[in-house]
Amino acid sequence: MKRVIDQTATADAEGFADASFSATVITWQKQHGRHALPWQQTQEAYRIWLSEIMLQQTQVSAVIPYYQRFLQRFPDVATLAAAPSEAVMAHWSGLGYYTRARNLHRCAQRIVQDYAGQFPADPVLLQELPGIGRSTAAAISAFAYGTRAAILDGNVKRVFARVFGVDAYPGLRLVEELLWRRAVALLPQNDIGSYTQGLMDLGATLCTRSKPQCPACPFKSRCVALATDRVSDLPVRKPKKTVPEKHTAMLLITDGDRVLLEQRPDSGIWGGLLSLPEIPHLLDEESAALEEMLGEVVMRFGVARDYQRLPPFSHGFTHFKLHVAPYRINLLHRHAVVEQGGFVWLAADEIDNAPLPAPVKKLLRVL
């Protein structure tokens, strides 16, 4: 707590303190904010932590069904910690950003091992756990324990940038440091839960990235961006970079109603999930080299009857775009070996519950 007090003193000295700001947020949240989200009906740190991790870079509407299914399978931190990683990944499949799921599992194990299954209330201790950053730690502690700690997620940065006219890219280190100081200085003395939720709600429902509802905003009379006609310009966008593009060929090797899948390494895209085997994508798809590569892969598992090129698709990641050329290979005969070197045969009726990347699962469902 001392760290927060010291930061507040520094931020106050810079002129960031404004008690009217937090009062406005709290009043608005109690009257117009969100109150019916599943994770708002509890102060249990486990459920709040789970929701905060799932909500990172994911919309509320997408999170709710995953959150509910996850809790049915893993109702408490001990159950999650004891579960096999495959089960955790399967229940996360389709939600994206799979590093979150691996960190979630590791964090649960740390909570059980180091804290006897009880989440610490101190945001500094929470921040030391896998997958929990400073803002997430503050949110968990504020909602579960009423700790006076500042959040600064993407929604809050957008609200601050517009209301206070922050005319610089928030991702720059110096700008982000100043935003943190402002966030700490603006903390109310009481009702931290309503204030924290209110900041989130403002950014998610009114001060949205596109089509913000400025007439309904409680800060419309003091918003610098609105007064200077810069709502669409703030926050300043990250300088554009060329998005790298990668290409791969995925092999859908089938034997009747079973499809061959490969366990991906823990690191990298789709880490820890099952996916289709891949080979380098060749631009000349009718070349003898392609047939040779297909043959080398298939011969490990059986004798090919035929192969067919399927419609290509693309999938966007945070830092690059992946272009996939899928090929379906039907086997005439499958070798007797059921599993080898990280490969496994999966029946069609097992697809829905398997830990598969969303685009791969979609492809298999269609076929």
Ranges of CATH 1.10.340.30 domains, the chain: 2-227
Q: Tell me which architecture the domain covering 245-366 has in CATH.
A: Alpha-Beta Complex (3.90)
Tens digits of per-residue pLDDT, 219-233? 999 999 999 999 999
Q: Is 323 left (phi over 0), alpha (psi -120 to 50) or beta?
A: beta
Give the model's pLDDT for residue 4. 42
Reported confidence tier of residue 7, pLDDT bands at 50, 70, 90: very low
CA distances from 123 to 46, 99, 153, 184 (A): 14, 21, 15, 13
Buried b (16+ CB within 10 A) or exposed e, 97-109: ebebbbebbebbb
Tens digits of per-residue pLDDT, 119-160? 999 999 999 999 999 999 999 999 999 999 999 999 999 999
Taking Cα atoms as reference points, which of 115, 58, 147 lies closest to residue 70? 58
pLDDT of 340 over the 70 cut: no
Locus of tokens 């899948």 = 261
Interatomic CA distance for residues 96 and 328, integer angstroms = 25
Range with the poorest average pLDDT among 150-164, 190-204, 253-267: 253-267
Locus of tokens 């995925």 = 250
pLDDT of 269 over the 70 cut: yes
Given a contact cutoff of 8 angstroms between Cβ atoms, the answer to whether 42 and 211 are in contact is no
Ranges of CATH 3.90.79.10 domains, the chain: 245-366
Structure tokens at 141: 């502690």
Tens digits of per-residue pLDDT, 57-93? 899 999 999 999 999 999 999 999 999 999 999 999 9
Give the model's pLDDT for residue 3. 41
Given a contact cutoff of 8 angstroms between Cβ atoms, the answer to whether 273 and 89 are in contact is yes
A 10 A CB-CB count for 343 gives 17
Buried b (16+ CB within 10 A) or exposed e, 161-197: bbbbebeeebeeeebeebbbbbbbbbbbeebbbbbbb
Average pLDDT for 344-355: 89
Mean pLDDT of the chain: 91
Q: What percent of the chain has pLDDT over 70?
A: 93
Reported confidence tier of residue 52, pLDDT bands at 50, 70, 90: very high
CA distances from 87 to 58, 69, 244, 266, 333 (A): 21, 12, 32, 14, 31
Average pLDDT for 271-285: 81
pTM comes to 0.76
Reported confidence tier of residue 283, pLDDT bands at 50, 70, 90: low
Is 176 among the catalytic positions? Answer: no
Q: Catalytic pick from 52, 176, 177, 262?
A: 52
CATH of domain 2-227: 1.10.340.30
pLDDT of 1 over the 50 cut: no
Count of positions (residues) in the chain: 367
Given a contact cutoff of 8 angstroms between Cβ atoms, the answer to whether 255 and 334 are in contact is yes
Structure tokens at 160: 């601050």
Reported confidence tier of residue 43, pLDDT bands at 50, 70, 90: very high
Bridging pattern class, strands 321-334 and 245-255: parallel
Chain center to CA of 297: 34
Task: Name the β-bridge partners of 250.
Answer: 278, 326
